[in-house]
């Protein structure tokens, strides 16, 4: 095991950490929520907000982790803060000379995979990390790394908000100072809420709206401003044999394929539709004011455009398309499109099938 060294600015770093008055405080919902989002985005069972003190790492928030703190010498986060401008990823701790015999690797909680994004003070000093980890080896895509880094900035922002709140309480007698700090507090809070709202509605890898955002758009698209039904079509598309792409070319190439398909979808439906990532290699397209025959034709043009993408590997998609019927629930329309997609794959893939 290799113990983490200490940053050159260790004294300033510890002073900055003390100014936040956060060590040994009770758990708070705002930190727990960010850990929950981080583990969901990165697909891990465990996660934490870790603050690196002089001789220990202390967990402000933790998920599926028993200890409230551990010694700094055995901490992964002690290594992560040494590079405050990047996310540290350990795909398999047993294969890493720094950690293969670490007590938290060989004993509970048996950490094999770790990813930590440093938490920075307002002066840019590393205070700890937002980290996710698991008992199995793992991998983060570029999009997941960026999302984890974005969430770590949100944790730092919440810490700033706490510090402002303490300062406000201590200076209530100075009305001018109080009003100025309150305005800054509200501005930071609005920024955090806006960033979190955007992250909760956007897929980090492709930049497309996610399933939640598409559901809201579907509900709004099937009626016009006067409450009358609109001729709306919905298509579900799936990349053919995507598992083979990952197995033969690697997950990085798989992520590139998803990102390029997303770019094509944005261009293909710009101005007259909305595309979203539905999950995995499956996407959904909303086409308002579009009859089913026209939607089927647009989907066939998309299918041919995908086959011509300059990816260096063969790629095709299967598509099921359905028209929304007045009186049906959105889930029923999606189910009909999904059934059509299933038939398209069953009939040999690389084709468009429309629902009856």
Beta-carbon contacts of residue 84 (< 8 Å; ≥ 6 apart):
118, 120, 124, 125, 126
Ordered strands of the 46-52 beta sheet:
69-71, 56-63, 46-52, 126-134, 113-120, 88-90
Angular region, 241: left φ>0, alpha ψ -120 to 50, beta rest: left
User: For residues 20 and 163, is the Cβ–Cβ distance under 8 A?
Assistant: yes
Q: Which of 91, 123, 281, 282 is catalytic?
A: 281
Instruction: Give Cα 322 distance to the centre of its chain.
Output: 30
Q: Is 160 a catalytic residue?
A: no
Strands in 274-279's sheet, in edge-to-edge order, are 274-279, 282-287, 233-239, 317-323, 352-354
The answer to whether the CB of 300 falls within 8 A of the CB of 333 is no
- The CA radius of gyration of the chain, in Å to the nearest whole number, is 24
Q: How far apart are CA 252 and CA 89, in angstroms?
A: 15
Q: Which residues are catalytic?
A: 281
């Amino acid at each position: 095991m290799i113990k983490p060294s200490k940053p050159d600015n260790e004294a300033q770093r510890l002073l900055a950490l003390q100014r936040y008055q956060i060590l040994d405080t009770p758990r708070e919902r705002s930190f727990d929520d960010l850990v929950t989002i981080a583990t969901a985005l990165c697909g891990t069972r465990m996660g934490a907000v870790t603050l690196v003190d002089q001789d220990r790492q202390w967990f402000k928030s933790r998920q599926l982790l028993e200890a409230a703190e551990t010694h700094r010498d055995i901490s992964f986060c002690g290594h992560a803060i040494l590079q405050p401008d990047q996310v540290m990823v350990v795909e398999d701790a047993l294969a890493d000379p720094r950690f293969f015999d670490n007590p938290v690797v060989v004993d509970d909680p048996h950490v094999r995979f770790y990813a930590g994004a440093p938490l920075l003070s307002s002066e840019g000093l590393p205070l700890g990390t937002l980290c996710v980890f698991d008992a199995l080896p793992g991998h983060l895509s570029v999009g997941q790394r960026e999302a984890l880094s974005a969430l770590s900035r949100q944790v730092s922002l919440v810490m700033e908000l706490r510090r402002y709140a303490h300062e406000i309480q201590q200076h209530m007698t100075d009305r001018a100072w109080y009003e100025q700090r309150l305005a800054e507090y509200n501005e930071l809070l609005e920024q955090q809420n806006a960033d979190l709202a955007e992250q909760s509605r956007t897929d980090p890898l492709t930049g497309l709206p996610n399933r939640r955002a598409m559901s809201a758009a579907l509900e709004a698209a099937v009626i016009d401003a006067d409450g009358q039904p609109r001729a709306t079509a919905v298509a579900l598309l799936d990349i053919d044999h995507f598992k083979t792409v990952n197995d033969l070319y690697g997950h990085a190439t798989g992520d590139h394929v998803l990102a390029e398909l997303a770019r094509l979808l944005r261009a293909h439906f710009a101005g007259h539709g909305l595309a979203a990532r539905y999950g995995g290699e499956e996407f959904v397209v909303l086409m308002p004011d579009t009859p089913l025959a026209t939607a089927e034709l647009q989907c066939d043009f998309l299918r041919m455009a995908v086959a011509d993408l300059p990816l260096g590997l063969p790629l095709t998609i299967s598509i099921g398309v359905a028209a929304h019927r007045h009186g049906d629930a959105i889930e029923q329309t999606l189910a009909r499109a999904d059934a059509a997609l299933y038939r398209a794959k069953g009939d040999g893939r690389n084709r468009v099938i429309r629902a009856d």
